[in-house]
Amino acid sequence: MQYPLTPDVKPEFCTTGTFMRLPSNRENAKLAIVGLPFDTAASFRVGARFAPQAIRQASMTLFPYHPIHKVYPFDACNAIDIGDVSVIPHNIHRSYEVMEKAVMELMEKGIIPIGLGGDHSVTLANLRAAAKIHGPVALIHFDSHTDTWDTYYEEKYWHGSPFIRAYEENLLIPDKVFQVGIRGTLNHPGDIDSSSDLGYHVITTPELKERGFENVVREMQEKIGDTPCFLSFDIDFVDPSCAPGTGTLEVGGLNSFETLQIIRSLTDFNFIGFDLVEVLPPYDPTQITSLLAATIIHDFASLVALKIK
Amino acid sequence: MQYPLTPDVKPEFCTTGTFMRLPSNRENAKLAIVGLPFDTAASFRVGARFAPQAIRQASMTLFPYHPIHKVYPFDACNAIDIGDVSVIPHNIHRSYEVMEKAVMELMEKGIIPIGLGGDHSVTLANLRAAAKIHGPVALIHFDSHTDTWDTYYEEKYWHGSPFIRAYEENLLIPDKVFQVGIRGTLNHPGDIDSSSDLGYHVITTPELKERGFENVVREMQEKIGDTPCFLSFDIDFVDPSCAPGTGTLEVGGLNSFETLQIIRSLTDFNFIGFDLVEVLPPYDPTQITSLLAATIIHDFASLVALKIK
Amino acid sequence: MQYPLTPDVKPEFCTTGTFMRLPSNRENAKLAIVGLPFDTAASFRVGARFAPQAIRQASMTLFPYHPIHKVYPFDACNAIDIGDVSVIPHNIHRSYEVMEKAVMELMEKGIIPIGLGGDHSVTLANLRAAAKIHGPVALIHFDSHTDTWDTYYEEKYWHGSPFIRAYEENLLIPDKVFQVGIRGTLNHPGDIDSSSDLGYHVITTPELKERGFENVVREMQEKIGDTPCFLSFDIDFVDPSCAPGTGTLEVGGLNSFETLQIIRSLTDFNFIGFDLVEVLPPYDPTQITSLLAATIIHDFASLVALKIK
Amino acid sequence: MQYPLTPDVKPEFCTTGTFMRLPSNRENAKLAIVGLPFDTAASFRVGARFAPQAIRQASMTLFPYHPIHKVYPFDACNAIDIGDVSVIPHNIHRSYEVMEKAVMELMEKGIIPIGLGGDHSVTLANLRAAAKIHGPVALIHFDSHTDTWDTYYEEKYWHGSPFIRAYEENLLIPDKVFQVGIRGTLNHPGDIDSSSDLGYHVITTPELKERGFENVVREMQEKIGDTPCFLSFDIDFVDPSCAPGTGTLEVGGLNSFETLQIIRSLTDFNFIGFDLVEVLPPYDPTQITSLLAATIIHDFASLVALKIK
Amino acid sequence: MQYPLTPDVKPEFCTTGTFMRLPSNRENAKLAIVGLPFDTAASFRVGARFAPQAIRQASMTLFPYHPIHKVYPFDACNAIDIGDVSVIPHNIHRSYEVMEKAVMELMEKGIIPIGLGGDHSVTLANLRAAAKIHGPVALIHFDSHTDTWDTYYEEKYWHGSPFIRAYEENLLIPDKVFQVGIRGTLNHPGDIDSSSDLGYHVITTPELKERGFENVVREMQEKIGDTPCFLSFDIDFVDPSCAPGTGTLEVGGLNSFETLQIIRSLTDFNFIGFDLVEVLPPYDPTQITSLLAATIIHDFASLVALKIK
Amino acid sequence: MQYPLTPDVKPEFCTTGTFMRLPSNRENAKLAIVGLPFDTAASFRVGARFAPQAIRQASMTLFPYHPIHKVYPFDACNAIDIGDVSVIPHNIHRSYEVMEKAVMELMEKGIIPIGLGGDHSVTLANLRAAAKIHGPVALIHFDSHTDTWDTYYEEKYWHGSPFIRAYEENLLIPDKVFQVGIRGTLNHPGDIDSSSDLGYHVITTPELKERGFENVVREMQEKIGDTPCFLSFDIDFVDPSCAPGTGTLEVGGLNSFETLQIIRSLTDFNFIGFDLVEVLPPYDPTQITSLLAATIIHDFASLVALKIK
């Protein structure tokens, strides 16, 4: 049988519980969906633990072929969906262990993971796994926040700090880190400076529009080249009109057309992992946030497939 | 591994896509959940095609043990969830074929099906399968409507007619048919009389409360005895305050406490199949309808388990 | 053509804009639906101006025959729906004029009005019309509040005062006024005493349940007898679980089964008018409040039809 | 009386059940709104049967004058709203008959219909009527999908096939067919090629933005000229942020500003009919989809009025 | 202090609005509302951190006088609202410290606290404070779950364990502990037995209805007498139709009328503290859960005022 | 004062929570948030009385520093939040008095008010206060409607007339009035001409985009110069996808990115007051409208702070 199941085989409202009804296992897999439903490191709204299932449910309306990249990404990659990691809601360290282990097992087999958060704290687990396999990696980080705050009430591990912790743990190559889409009010000017101080490249939403997507992508390509690169996508990168179902909304973001446009131009990177975080289904009554997330994941898979093809 | 997975094994928000995370297959199964997402025979609101997945999702918060009946129903029955039948939204006859086939295959193996509708038209497929295996059966039918209207704009097969079609097809033993919870405005007095004319026993909601649950159940026991009996539960039996997510609501129904009370008293029947129909997730913003449905299914399973024990 | 249109004639999702698709005019009418969408006299939540259309829309699922009273009420009464009175949102006095005029025109023709509020201030217009035709009338008033507060920030005409204004204007026979279902916290004990001081009979929700519906109805019959009687129903009489879409909710009310039971026992009164007020569609996401309201109106019509039959 | 009723005559929250409170009949009508609430040919979400009433309700906030085109379209056309066709939910062929008949009766009288779907299958009825009157017609089709799939589980008539059926039935002039706004994942590359193979012009959303609206419209004008032309608008042409209430959403569409801009530039076509399909009120909690639909219909009417003026 | 308060000083979900607009401080206070918005110990749905502000907002519609108990509770007690404790979402132990401290400071001044959770884990902080002041206390615990599970993935402190931890820490007098309203499916029969094994009295919902409220309350009075008693109310005690906005719903509970009835009969206890937990505003679209919670708190205050009067 | 505040003292919809948790009073304040929850002058949807509390609640997620203007606006201005003015829902004239008084008291102390409506009628109170202090003022008015209609059913004071009343009362310098973002259908062409006839400058949404924000702002600067200027922002200026929660939506507006862009370019005006009106929380299920409003207010404050710095 060909995967993902198309509506020719089973009506799209007949669920099987996996992303686009992928199998949980198959030969020669190069790509895996994995749920990382940890969300208790969030500072404001909570509920991203339900994101993996909501995104999978929204994925039912997607079809296998990508018309821009002209690939069948899930087929080309023999993609699988290994389900959710059994995180422990109340314990970030034990959750990090199980998430890192699950992701590393995939990477060790040469399978590129697409992690479905969870809040943004889960990215640290992904980067830990990546660095163990690849050494420090490059990072393209779409978000409205830099997530390089240090502590939250003296807690070091929360959804506002993964990229300062990753720096401290030497998981990233700072000059190959791009934080794109940053906007919104700040505690202090230092909130952004702190990222720059680490050596990261911060590109705000207004800059992104002013400079043009092509120019920004070209700069990233020049800096990153073929270095193994992780892509972390916080759905609050997108404007609340297109993605209301998230935890710390910032108005004034790109819309979904622009978002797809920029992602679709990332064809020349050596991606070794992805995650998509901070979808909060309880705040997404029309499910457009989950659908956008599912569509972006289809695009991630296509970026991988293009390299295999 | 023991099934269903308990939260001890996997946090309950980690889905696997099946009812209470049951496996899709195991040895010596006596009970099976099967999705019957056909809904285009509805006359008013539509959307029951999404009920099987919504009920499965709601089932995540249920635990394996039934404290009143003192059984682990899904374990006792080696219960499985075989997923959704691939119905064809626009064609009731072809959908009937595939649903009947799926249900009959279960029954032939001695597996009692719990069908998740779909609109009420799906029950005809279940009764056809049941009659093929068991001959005409007894029926306990919880609903606010008798569903013995003849045609809808000259169409004979729709969600208002399964129990007149079942009569014509000789699938039921009329004197062993009980329609319980009937209420609401009518087209004509004949709407209820037509049921009585077929020989069915109609018990309205006010009668049910006036006579007392015990007396009604006793009458059903006396009439039905050990005859193979199907139980069809339309969620609009319950009051809209407890089950807003359905297609043709009737105010003035029983609440969920009373509903469970009466279901839990059905311990002395020889049930050979169940269905639960007319949950409409698009109209259930708080998901209480799906949760009630999932809980009732846990009770159905317990009624089966009691007999096995 | 017979009215209301049944689903045999037109599928129930095909609207015509009137209650149960009644005509706006016909011979020998004895009953009329009339929208009174005035709502700017409310002290808390607003939005009852949308109630008439929401209730009409909900009425689409009702059928013509009442199975308890065994009548076709809308047919028996040649019922019509004359649409909404053109109230002026910002001016209660001018709105009172047009509402009173519209209602009085009906009454003068011997047509019993069922007014769809609007907030509870509209009842004063109805009672003014009633008193002009019938002299001071009896009143059965279902509500969680007595609505006999005097002023609101010195404003005399608002949704908390219709029944003190009606007293002052001599529109009611105080000893034949029953306020049923009163409950909830108060500003002062005087909030209830003020009703009793006017000579009204106040029956709280706990009393209603303790004394039994039959006894309360019997007392009302003895007091009211054949006196022309108006029935005013504030949907917040019912518990928020059954009627969330209203302006000033009070938990701890009767459910919809009990509500219908008591209304259905009011067969021995000489009703000369009805209204149903305080449905707020913006707060009724599942539309169960509007459906309950529509069903109660079907019952009101049946009470009238029983007298005609 | 002038139509549509303005808020000067009746507050806009006082409904009459028709689009902008138009009359159901008047002399010399040139334009008619007609509801086509057939929706059981949909493959995923259902509920478009409630669209005609939701769009009419949303139309209450529109005013009669179009400020860009400088016309009173409904007045200029003596527009009417003839209500909903009594479709049969479960039978597409019988529904096609009654829809085609209703639309053809309008066209025979020289009245241009604006059909309110229903799912996209209803367009076949409209095109059949159009071709009977005008012979094969030109088509401007706004949508995210080409709807030229052949069968759905061997069913030929469903909401994904109207434009291949129309081709087979010789209702269209293929070289004068434009499908605009196509985007989203596909089953196969052939999904789009099949349209091109029929001779249709497919313009994807990215192309539309890249080439510029003016250029695309100019090309359509050159090809279509004065040929009688039908305009079919699937609301999923628009981005989900602006139109969440639809059945098969595709992220990455135009926003409502751009949508109006392109519609407003279609001043030089000989339109002989319109429809607007796939609004699903159960998925439109803020009603912005219905309002956008109503506004687009106001624009359609203005395009007609410009030709009459 | 610098303004506006930044999240460094107070988490952004800590509101400054007060319950019924009480002052934050006044002379001779005997009662205090205190927000305890800790919610990351929940095993399923999350979001109770927003409960204190939602309940305060719902309290706006309450009036000062309690008509059954005939007291002005907040006035009689000089009640205050001291706002929310600055909990740390990700750290239960540090959160326990600050919550315990805040509650103990009140108790030391002779002020009875009414804590607004948060999830049920917060009760342990309240009981620790209570035991420090009063020694081991009696407990009346309304809930659908006993919350005496031991660990959750080896974590000892979570919202399912406060009453086993309280036992171990010797904060309660086991024979004076009543758990009322228990129902729903279980992991193991031991889930309930474990409570009984500790010496607690478990009264299920069916028992509660069968035995009658009066008898159950009488039994509690006889056992508890004048012992200082804490009352912990989990909103999931109530049926989901009345309280949909909670985390782990169990159908088949009491309704709001019955709930108030039983609370109002608790006039003869020596209450030294209260909490109300597990309201989840993101799942409460009509706000009826928050309103029920606010009303229950008004009742709690009245029980205190009755003793003062 | 007696506690809790009863509705006699303050309407129950007047919150005591503050914007970004500002204090209600401090030394040397230059800026004040003030709630103006009057909403009964609205012609269609109602509910703006709940806007001040919803916007304050949404403001919780904002941080103190503005990254574009590089200021801490609330600190720079010693900003305060004085709560809601106790308007009288049913009486616009008495409400005007109390609102004007509250705003004027601020202005007299040199405090710039940011008023949170309420419907657009409240602006007249603000302009009356402004003119008393500053004489006739300039006005920048963002809106989709000109709000220069004369009467509504002969009522002169409603939310569609503040800017014609302001003209008649000589509160504005007509040549220094800019109405920006106007769009949507009209009653008559005169609806827009009437504004021009008063000497106001009307810039429609399409013009705004065509001419470019910079050019429009430059024109306003040239005309207005240093004249004391009031800024009135109706949230329906923004497209419904970004601001669904308002009363009279017009599709085809700017998105939130563009909206912030234009507001952020207003650095060279002498603003003496602001208001933001027509947010309707009951129609804002995802709260993105309130968040946008709160963000715009942060921007308003920053414009003031830039002048102080």
Please choose, from the candidates E249, E241, E258, E230, the residue with its C-alpha nearest in 3D space to the C-alpha of residue E144: E249
pLDDT the model gives residue B74: 95
Residues from chain B contacting residue E245 (CB–CB below 8 Å): 286
Mean pLDDT of the region D11-27: 82
pLDDT the model gives residue E21: 84
* pLDDT tens sequence across D122-171: 999 999 999 999 999 999 999 999 999 998 888 899 999 999 999 999 99
The overall average pLDDT reported for chain E is 93
pLDDT the model gives residue C162: 97
Compare C262 and F190 and report the one with higher pLDDT.
C262
Cα distance from A39 to chain E (closest Cα, Å)? Answer: 9
Give me the residue label for tokens 């060909």: A2
Cα distance from F3 to chain E (closest Cα, Å)? Answer: 6
Q: What whole-number distance in Å separates Cα of residue D170 and Cα of residue D135?
A: 9
Residue C2 pLDDT class (50, 70, 90 cuts): low
Q: CA E234, E237, E242: angle at the middle one, nearest 5?
A: 110
Contact check, Cβ <8 Å, D37/C17? no
* pLDDT tens sequence across C138-188: 999 999 999 999 988 888 999 999 999 999 999 999 999 999 999 999 988
pLDDT the model gives residue B1: 43
Cα distance from E200 to chain C (closest Cα, Å)? Answer: 29
* Surface-to-core class of residue E226, CB atoms within 10 Å of its CB (0-12 exposed, 13-18 middle, 19+ buried): exposed
Contact check, Cβ <8 Å, F64/A187? yes
Cα distance from F35 to chain E (closest Cα, Å)? Answer: 14
Cα distance from C240 to chain B (closest Cα, Å)? Answer: 9
Which chains pack against C, by 3+ Cβ pairs within 8 A?
A: B, D, E, F
Q: Which amino acid makes up residue C176?
A: K
CA atoms within 13 A on the CB side of D13: 25
User: For chain B, which ranges sit under pLDDT 50?
Assistant: 1
A82-113 residues labelled b (16+ CB within 10 A) or e (exposed): bbbbbbbbbbbeebbebbbebbbebbeeebbb
> What are the beta bridge partners of residue F180?
F142, F203
* pLDDT tens sequence across D268-302: 999 999 999 999 999 999 999 999 999 999 999 99
Cα distance from F7 to chain E (closest Cα, Å)? Answer: 8
Residues from chain B contacting residue C261 (CB–CB below 8 Å): 206
Q: Which of D81-95, D165-179, D218-232, F225-239 is least confident?
A: D81-95
pLDDT the model gives residue D53: 92
Which chains pack against D, by 3+ Cβ pairs within 8 A?
A: A, B, C, F
Searching chain C, which residue's CA lies closest to the CA of residue F6?
A: C187
Positive or negative CA dihedral for D100, D103, D105, D107? negative
Contact check, Cβ <8 Å, B84/A37? no
The overall average pLDDT reported for chain A is 94
Compare D10 and E44 and report the one with higher pLDDT.
E44
Residues from chain A contacting residue D153 (CB–CB below 8 Å): 11
pLDDT the model gives residue F1: 41
pLDDT the model gives residue D187: 86
Please determine, for residue F273, whether its predicted confidence score (pLDDT) is greater than 80: yes
CB C203 within 8 A of CB C146: no
Which chains pack against F, by 3+ Cβ pairs within 8 A?
A: A, C, D, E
CB D238 within 8 A of CB D142: no
- Assembly ipTM: 0.95
Mean pLDDT of the region E76-90: 92
Closest partner residue to D40 among B89, B153, B154, by Cβ? B89
Give whole-number Cα distances, C203 to C195, C200, D144, F266, in Å.
11, 10, 60, 61
The E-side interface with A (CB below 8 A) comprises 6-8, 11-13, 39-43, 45-47, 49, 86, 88-92, 94, 152-155, 157-158, 282-283
Contact check, Cβ <8 Å, E57/F53? yes
% of chain D surpassing 90 pLDDT: 86
Helix (H, G, I), strand (E, B) or coil at B95: helix
Please determine, for residue F16, whether its predicted confidence score (pLDDT) is greater than 60: no
pLDDT the model gives residue E90: 83
Contacts of B168 (CB under 8 A, 6+ apart): none
Which chains pack against A, by 3+ Cβ pairs within 8 A?
A: B, D, E, F
Tokens of C61: 């699922």
Residues from chain D contacting residue F40 (CB–CB below 8 Å): none
Tokens of E208: 């509660």
Cα distance from B293 to chain C (closest Cα, Å)? Answer: 17
Contacts of E193 (CB under 8 A, 6+ apart): none
Q: Which of B53, B119, B287 is the mutation pick for testing A, counting most A CBs within 10 A?
A: B53
pLDDT the model gives residue E1: 41
End-to-end CA distance of chain C: 21
3-class SS shares of chain B: helix, strand, coil, % to 5: 40, 20, 40
pLDDT the model gives residue C3: 57
Instruction: Calculate the dihedral angle through the C-alpha atoms of D55, D61, D65, D71, rounding to the nearest 10 degrees.
Output: -10
pLDDT the model gives residue B90: 84
Searching chain E, which residue's CA lies closest to the CA of residue C245?
A: E286
The overall average pLDDT reported for chain D is 94
Q: Which of A75-89, E2-16, F150-164 is least confident?
A: E2-16
> What are the beta bridge partners of residue E277?
E234
Contact check, Cβ <8 Å, E63/C184? yes
* pLDDT tens sequence across E128-147: 999 999 999 999 999 999 99
Q: What whole-number distance in Å separates Cα of residue C261 and Cα of residue F119?
A: 42
Please choose, from the candidates C233, C240, C284, the residue with its C-alpha nearest in 3D space to the C-alpha of residue C51: C284
Contact check, Cβ <8 Å, B256/E251? yes
Please determine, for residue D179, whether its predicted confidence score (pLDDT) is greater than 60: yes
CA atoms within 13 A on the CB side of A94: 11
Q: Which of E264, E279, E288, E296 is the mutation pick for testing C, counting most C CBs within 10 A?
A: E288
pTM check: above 0.90: yes
pLDDT the model gives residue C1: 43
Q: Which of A279-283, D262-266, F9-13 is least confident?
A: F9-13
What is the H or E stretch that residue C209 is in? helix C205-211
Residue C6 pLDDT class (50, 70, 90 cuts): low
Q: What whole-number distance in Å separates Cα of residue B182 and Cα of residue F33?
A: 57
pLDDT the model gives residue E4: 56
Residues from chain F contacting residue E21 (CB–CB below 8 Å): 3-5, 10, 16
Which chains pack against E, by 3+ Cβ pairs within 8 A?
A: A, B, C, F
Please determine, for residue F15, whether its predicted confidence score (pLDDT) is greater than 70: no
Mean pLDDT of the region F80-99: 92
% of chain E surpassing 90 pLDDT: 83
Searching chain D, which residue's CA lies closest to the CA of residue B157?
A: D90
Mean pLDDT of the region D10-24: 79
pLDDT the model gives residue A256: 97
pLDDT the model gives residue B309: 65
* pLDDT tens sequence across C23-66: 999 999 999 999 999 999 998 899 999 999 999 999 988 999 99
Cα distance from E283 to chain F (closest Cα, Å)? Answer: 11
Cα distance from E91 to chain A (closest Cα, Å)? Answer: 8
Searching chain A, which residue's CA lies closest to the CA of residue E282?
A: A282
Please determine, for residue E277, whether its predicted confidence score (pLDDT) is greater than 60: yes
Tokens of F74: 């609330």
Residues from chain A contacting residue F257 (CB–CB below 8 Å): 205, 209, 239, 252-254
Contact check, Cβ <8 Å, A241/F288? yes
pLDDT the model gives residue E152: 85
Q: What whole-number distance in Å separates Cα of residue E138 and Cα of residue A144?
A: 50
Other residues' Cβ atoms within 10 Å of the Cβ of residue D227: 17
Residues from chain A contacting residue E39 (CB–CB below 8 Å): 46
CB pairs under 8 A between E and F: 71
Furthest-apart CA pair in chain D: how many Å? Answer: 55
Closest partner residue to A255 among D206, D241, D249, by Cβ? D241
Please determine, for residue D1, whether its predicted confidence score (pLDDT) is greater than 60: no
Residue D245 pLDDT class (50, 70, 90 cuts): very high
Residues from chain D contacting residue C88 (CB–CB below 8 Å): 11
Residue A1 pLDDT class (50, 70, 90 cuts): very low
pLDDT the model gives residue A4: 59
Q: What whole-number distance in Å separates Cα of residue C194 and Cα of residue A309?
A: 83
pLDDT the model gives residue A97: 97
The overall average pLDDT reported for chain C is 94
pLDDT the model gives residue B11: 72
Please choose, from the candidates B236, B87, B229, B73, the residue with its C-alpha nearest in 3D space to the C-alpha of residue B147: B236
CB A16 within 8 A of CB A5: yes
pLDDT the model gives residue D17: 85
* Surface-to-core class of residue D110, CB atoms within 10 Å of its CB (0-12 exposed, 13-18 middle, 19+ buried): exposed
Residue A2 pLDDT class (50, 70, 90 cuts): low
Mean pLDDT of the region C128-135: 98
Contact check, Cβ <8 Å, C90/F94? no
- Return phi, psi of residue F51, to 5°: -65, -45
* Surface-to-core class of residue F261, CB atoms within 10 Å of its CB (0-12 exposed, 13-18 middle, 19+ buried): middle
Q: Which of B119, B121, B153 is the mutation pick for testing D, counting most D CBs within 10 A?
A: B153
- Return phi, psi of residue E80, to 5°: -130, 165
pLDDT the model gives residue A195: 93
Cα distance from B131 to chain A (closest Cα, Å)? Answer: 27
> What are the beta bridge partners of residue E233?
E142, E276
pLDDT the model gives residue A153: 82
Which own/partner pairs from A206-210 qualify as long-range (CB within 8 Å, at least 24 positions apart)? A206/F68, A206/F261, A208/A180, A208/A181, A208/A254, A208/A262, A209/A254, A209/F257
Mean pLDDT of the region A86-91: 89
pLDDT the model gives residue B52: 95
